[in-house]
Amino acid sequence: MNLENDEATRAWNTVLFDKFVRFQYLLTTGLARHSELMLARRPPPPGARVLDIGCGFGDTTQLLAQAVGRGGEAVGVDVAQNFVDAASREAEKAGASRARFFRADVQVDDLRGPYAAAYARFGTMFFASPVAALRNVKRALVPGGNLAIVVWRKREDNAWLYAAEQRVRALLPEIPASDEPTCGPGPFSMSGADLLSDQLLAAGFHEIAFERHDVEICIGRSLEEAIDFSMALGPAGELIRLAGAVGLEQASSISAALRDALAIYEGPKGVFAPSSTWLISARS
């Protein structure tokens, strides 16, 4: 048995799952702006069997299932059983009969290929060994099968996350050691095109292409919600969680600092912040 992702699995299946449920609306509608480009640029072949890596609530899996159409199938995998159960429930509710889900650690488990194509929206940045995980994905693809993944670009171009992280770091300069599980390498671990393209090559992919995508996303329907979202998730939320009691003690100062950092994005329709991702495609 491979234990490398055990800690991250625990985090995703418990505390992070609960937080994702709380902010499901923002995560699925806001983040969808980035997967829209992925599906437009790399639509799945009609009638194909395709994989969605780290599927979360499975909303991308459902879109893939719709796109493959009759005779096709979209399979969502996630390391956290709670996400797999939630994704299965959501798909059933939506009548997405061509979407299926099962629990798998993408780094080590049998992904039940072959697939004509594999996709991921923010689902590949948390593996302890990214090359091993990408190699396992390649193994599940047919020869020549396409990989299309969306990952965050650098922090500075995702200022809503980075400014929040900096404000929290200033207020929590020393975070005591904690037994809380962490999420793995983290949301920006694949932001460097040089490193990621080397990892893809090492995993056996070729024809690697990066497209930068800059778009405003909704980070809160109100400023209050944007502050709550930042205090719960992303690098700022993780710092607060790992700080435990110290984080709680500072909650009102942190909330005030985040209000100051995020107010510039507030508009009549909610809080919309610039964000930037890579859409990477590669061939197996």
Ligand X SMILES: C[S@@+](CC[C@H](N)C(=O)[O-])C[C@H]1O[C@@H](n2cnc3c(N)ncnc32)[C@H](O)[C@@H]1O
CB 118 to ligand X: min, Å: 12
Binding mask 6-35 for ligand X (x = CB under 6 A): --x---x--------------x---x----
Contact flag: residue 63 with ligand X (CB under 6 A): no
Three-class SS state of 116: strand
Does residue 253 contact residue 202 with C-beta atoms inside 8 Å? Answer: no
What kind and span of H or E run contains 253? helix 251-262
Out of 44, 54, 113, 130, name the contact with ligand X by CB under 6 A.
54
Which residue, 246, 147, 159, 138, is CA-closest to 202? 138
Give the Cα separation of 268 and 34 in Å (integer): 22
CB 145 to ligand X: min, Å: 18
Q: Which stretch binds ligand X (CB under 6 A): 38-46, 48-56, 94-102, 224-232?
A: 48-56
Nearer to ligand X, 52 or 171 (CB): 52
Does residue 100 contact residue 157 with C-beta atoms inside 8 Å? Answer: no
Out of 44, 56, 237, 247, name the contact with ligand X by CB under 6 A.
56
Summarize as ranges the residues that interact with ligand X (CB under 6 A). Answer: 5, 8, 12, 27, 31, 54-56, 60, 77-80, 83, 105-107, 121-123, 126-127, 184
